[in-house]
């Protein structure tokens, strides 16, 4: 329909709406009549025709995908459920091999992500599909690789503050001891860490013997 022109419903269309609006969803009626959802709704309101809230909610539930629902196109070739013209139209919007979405971040981009425990950290894109936590990258650039049994912590406990002066390396054992429900005296923790390292080394020797 050209912009600015209005074609009223025919008597047959009005009759169809009045007799079927409770049996068919508005979208389906609009599709069958070749018009928009809003126009159907305005017609109903003008004629004091109201769709009960219970029916609206039921239609919403019916339209939701159910667990275990099998798509009607499963096992079918595209040509078996689409016309040749429709298939041709889809070619314009298909993803091309090697195509990169316009909103893809560039190398060096910073994003805030949550880990599996719900803690938020700044991450930096190294390359496509390769992101690393920013505080670890900053630490390694200044001090070299982080040993496997060590972590980087935030001195002020603010994970958004990734300045090098706010970062501290700590062994996993020491981190556990410092966060233990048992309030160990500060001066004994280094000794406990050394004892744990000694036990681990002895176990390695025993296993290798």
Contacts of 179 (CB under 8 A, 6+ apart): none
Along the 209 residues of the chain, how does pLDDT read in single tens digits? 445 566 788 999 999 999 999 998 898 888 888 888 899 999 999 999 999 999 989 888 888 877 887 877 888 888 887 888 888 888 887 877 777 777 888 899 999 999 888 889 999 999 988 999 999 999 999 999 999 888 898 999 899 999 999 999 988 877 676 666 566 566 665 666 666 666 666 666 667 76
How many Å apart are CA 162 and CA 160, to the nearest integer?
Answer: 6
Q: What is the pLDDT of residue 46?
A: 92
In the chain, what are the domain boundaries? 8-67, 110-208
Query: Long-range contacts: 149-157, Cβ < 8 Å, 24+?
Result: 149/173, 151/175
Q: Within 10 Å of residue 170's Cβ, how many Cβ atoms?
A: 15
Q: What is the pTM of this model?
A: 0.47
Q: What is the pLDDT of residue 28?
A: 87
């Amino acid at each position: 329909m050209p912009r600015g022109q209005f074609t009223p419903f025919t008597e047959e269309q009005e009759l169809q709406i009045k007799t079927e609006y409770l049996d068919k969803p508005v979208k389906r009626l609009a599709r069958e009549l070749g018009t928009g959802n809003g126009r159907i709704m305005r017609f109903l309101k003008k004629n004091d025709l109201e769709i009960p809230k219970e029916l609206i909610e039921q239609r919403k539930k019916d339209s939701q995908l159910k667990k275990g629902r099998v798509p009607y196109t499963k096992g079918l070739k595209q040509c078996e459920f689409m016309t040749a013209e429709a298939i041709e139209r889809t070619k314009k919007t298909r993803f091309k091999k090697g195509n990169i979405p316009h909103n893809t971040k560039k190398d060096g981009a910073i994003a805030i992500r949550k880990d599996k425990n719900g803690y938020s950290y700044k991450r930096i894109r190294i390359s496509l599909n390769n992101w690393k936590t920013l505080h670890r990258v900053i630490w390694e650039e200044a001090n070299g690789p982080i040993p496997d049994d060590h972590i980087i912590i935030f001195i002020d406990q603010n994970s958004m503050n990734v300045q090098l002066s706010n970062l501290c390396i700590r062994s996993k054992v020491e981190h556990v001891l410092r966060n233990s429900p048992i309030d160990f005296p500060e001066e004994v923790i280094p000794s406990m860490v050394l004892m744990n390292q000694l036990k681990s080394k002895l176990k390695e020797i025993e296993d290798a013997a």
